[in-house]
Structures are given as C-alpha cells and as structure tokens.
Chain A
Amino acid sequence: MGERSLSDPEVWVTLYGDYLFRFALNRVRDRPAAEDLVQETFIAALAARERFAGQSSERSWLVGILKHKIVDRFRKDIREQPVDDPAGGIFDDEAAFDQDGHWKLDQTAPLDWPDHPGHALERKQFWEVLSRCLGKLPPKMAQVFTLRELDEVESETVCAMLNISSSNLWVQLHRARKHLRQCLEADFFGRREAH
C-alpha cells in the first residue's frame, strides 16, 4: 500500500458524489445515465480498493475509473446520434474570412496574445472565461470537444463512442476550437486594436 489510504466508502457520496456526477453529466448529457455511471464507479472502486496506490488523490483515482466507465458505456450503447449542425452564426466558417478566403485583418485576424502563454493559466479569470466560452458551444460540439481535449480520448475512439464519422468529428472540433480561440481572445486577451 502507498503512503495514503482511502477514506471510508461511506463518505464517498458526500465527498465526491456531486463532482463525479457533474463530470459524467458534462460528457453523457443525460442525468439518469450520469447517475448510473457514478454508481458503477463507486462499485468498481470498492472492488479495486486494495489496488489504490496512493500516488494520486482519491478524487482523481475515482475520476480515472469514471472515465473508463464512460467510454465503456458509449461503446455498448451504439445508437445513431444525429449531430447538430448549427449553420450560420458564430459557428459558420464564412464569417471570419473575405471572399478570397483570407482573414479580415481589422476584424478577425488572430491577435498577438499578450501575457503569452503560461502566465494566463495561473489566473482564475482565465479559467472562468474559458469555461464560459465552452458553455456557449452547442451541446454535441461541447461533448466532442470535452472527450477529445479534456479527457484526451483518441479520435478513432471518440468516433466509435459517439457513432460519428471522422470527417464529422474533425468539423466539430475545428468549429469548437475556432470558437474557443475567438471567445478567449475577445473576453480575456483584450480588445481588438490595429494590427
């Protein structure tokens, strides 16, 4: 056993229930399914208690188990998932470019971000803005992005989990990244000035 031991499973629900539930909900977008996943995670954790090495915190250990449960669930539950395809608006590819497909220099061309890059990560405001930006994505796009970028699931696995094609995945990720970059630039890195 490692230097740290686990707390009493009786208090797991109180300590980690809400966190794990929201984590699952952000990914599966279905409350009963998220609750099931949390339960499966606790049961699996009980069975694997002896193998908890104490290298990570109890919470990240549980999150690790939950991530596997989420992937498993998607694999079992293959169903046609219509992908919402918001045409136009901020997720449209056209708006940022002129008719030749080039940046509009005084409107959309990426700015040179000040404070670049590491210091921003230490600031609470950075994460608040980023979370708000992520919250503005359409649900399906946010789900794809969360699995791929926060959970580092491989592209092929995300496609299999959500039953979508590779090209669909790439389009969703492209739009999500484009929006997040734009949103972060507007709300955190500051006003647009002359290039």
Chain B
Amino acid sequence: MQIGPKQDVERLNLKIGPLVGWLIRITPTCKEMTRLLSESMDHPLPFSTKLKMRLHFLICKWCERYGTQLLFLRQAFRRHPDKVDELMGAASPGLSPEAKARLEQAIRKH
C-alpha cells in the first residue's frame, strides 16, 4: 500500500506499519525530494542519497510522479527545441528594418 504525507495519514486514519513509519522517518521530505529530483538531472548524486530517494518512492507515489513529469518535460523540450522558440519568438518584435539593412550590407561585403 502506498501512503501519503503524515497529515493525510492522520486525517484518513490509515494504519501505518512499523516499516512504513520507519521509511517516512529515514527518507527525505517531499519538499527535499523535489529539489533532489531536479538536481539529479544536472549532476550525479551520492549513492546514499539515491538510495533514500528510491525508498521514498516506495511510500510516496506523488514524488515518483513528480520525477517522471520532470523527465517528460525535459524530453519534450529537447526533442522539439524549435517549437518553443517559434512560439516565444512570434510574440516579440524581430529585427528592425535598419538592422536588416546593416546585416545585408555586412553579408555583401564578405
């Protein structure tokens, strides 16, 4: 059974076994998990940290989801980098006519 944060456990009156209670105590908080999940995409984390994160996933599906969704975002951006640039760009002004003339001249000189 996957259980969630402490206050929900209390509110929903769930029974927590000693194993799950122990996992809640020794693994990072969800807040800490979001920071670690992001950092794991930028640099390698120590083995002990990675292990604690895996243990946290055993009791918290939301953090696992969060990690999957961050990776999904990364893939989306990296597979289609130009989509965002096209849409972001369309909203902002492009080159001024003067700048275009300068550029054309620079090309002709070469």
A: which residues have CB within 8 A of B? 9-10, 12-14, 17-19, 21-23, 25-26, 35, 38-39, 42-43, 46-47, 60, 63, 93, 96-98, 100-105, 109-113, 116-117, 120-121, 126-128, 130-131, 134-135, 148-152, 155, 166, 169-170, 173-174, 177-178, 180-181, 184-185
* B5 proximity list for chain A (CB < 8 A): 98, 100, 102-105
Known: A19-B85, A117-B72; 11 extra A-B contacts, CB below 8 A, are A12-B107, A22-B94, A26-B85, A101-B31, A102-B6, A127-B83, A134-B88, A150-B78, A166-B43, A169-B42, A181-B73
| Interchain CB contact under 8 A, B31 and A97 | yes
Q: Which residue of chain B has the shortest Cβ distance to A20 in the bound complex? A: B95
* A173 proximity list for chain B (CB < 8 A): 38, 41-42
| Interchain CB contact under 8 A, A127 and B4 | no
How far, in angstroms, from A18 to B99 measured CA to CA in the complex? 10
Interface on chain A toward B: helix, strand, loop, or mixed SS? helix
- Does B50 lie at the interface of the complex (its beta carbon under 8 Å from any beta carbon of A)? no
| Interchain CB contact under 8 A, A17 and B107 | no
* A9 proximity list for chain B (CB < 8 A): 107
- Does B58 lie at the interface of the complex (its beta carbon under 8 Å from any beta carbon of A)? no
* A170 proximity list for chain B (CB < 8 A): 35, 38-39, 42-43
Given B7, B31, B86, B103, which contacts A93 in the complex, CB threshold below 8 Å? Answer: B31
- Does B52 lie at the interface of the complex (its beta carbon under 8 Å from any beta carbon of A)? no
* B62 proximity list for chain A (CB < 8 A): 103, 105, 109-110
Chain B's nearest CB lies how many Å from the CB of A31? 9
* A126 proximity list for chain B (CB < 8 A): 76
